């Protein structure tokens, strides 16, 4: 009985996108490992960006920093 855990940042992943992830993971395990979809479990965990870190900073801070950097490169002003 396969168990797949998918973790994404909590930023508006739609119900339709989640359904596609569930179907895709289930189909992959059936195709590659010949696993029965009826016994394949797919769990999607949504993690707040404050709780997801990359390169010593959380994603919330990283996105804010990159947003300011991107605006200034286009000639905009940082807030």
Question: ∠ CA(47), CA(50), CA(54), 5° rounding?
Answer: 90
Selecting among 2, 18, 60, 62, the annotated active-site residue is 2
The yes-or-no answer on residue 37 being catalytic is: no
Handedness of CA 24, 30, 31, 33 (dihedral sign): positive
Cα 52 from Cα 18, distance rounded (Å): 19
**Residues belonging to the active site:** 2
């Amino acid at each position: 009985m396969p168990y797949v855990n998918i973790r994404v940042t909590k930023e508006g992943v739609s119900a339709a996108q989640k359904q596609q992830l569930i179907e895709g993971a289930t189909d992959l395990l059936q195709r590659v490992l010949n696993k029965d979809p009826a016994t394949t479990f797919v769990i999607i965990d949504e993690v707040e960006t404050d709780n997801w870190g990359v390169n010593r900073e959380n994603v919330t801070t990283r996105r804010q920093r990159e947003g300011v950097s991107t605006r200034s490169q286009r000639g905009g002003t940082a807030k």
